[in-house]
Structure 1
């Protein structure tokens, strides 16, 4: 072979080697992308399976769910004042103090009336009918 042919053949071989490396890099990148897409596809298939299972479970539920038994409400102590106090709490949207209950019941907020109402509120708290969220602050228990 002549020198010119060897140079041309050498240049051609270099170009082929460069192209071969490019193809190998592109193939590796494509392989990584295939791995990522396969993982994504597997995740989507698993999510679809979970939805199918959830739908099947919901469709198998009875139309009417059994009622959850509730604890019976303790009876109120005798006396109309307790009925009035509970009526005040039925209308209240925030915890009340004994003074607030007196005012709502149209009682004069004098110490004797406030103390009598406080004693009744404590009795209702002891029976679980009311709760004392903070000292002197009464409310109905949350379900």
Structure 2
């Protein structure tokens, strides 16, 4: 019977080694997980803080310049303002929008039917190339998110509030 006990002891020792290896891997993964959670948390807080600062800057000054900190020996980076598209609300005219967004809303308002980005691009003075069309599509989507335009069918944009542009035209007079 001695060989049976020796075999069991051998198997037990092998199982113990495997358990210890797995525990070591778990400890290593737990440490990596905690480090990544810390990085994620710092990035989230940084993004939220920057968003708050940019929002405060744009509401108080519009287009002030900000110098970003850089590593020693690098040239400072200047960021001029942030384009902010406010959420539409009653009484707000297109004049609160940055120029390119205002141009887009005015072009869409002048159209009798919903428009595609590729139709809008030449009307706002840009070349009808893929990069400009995609950039304009992003702006159109932002205007939809903020309530200035609607997108009832994919890729077709229309004015959400007629009074928005009309009150803007009255303000120009």
TM-score, with normalisation over the residues of structure 1? 0.45
Q: Which has the higher strand share?
A: 2
Query: Which structure would you say has the larger Rg?
Result: 1
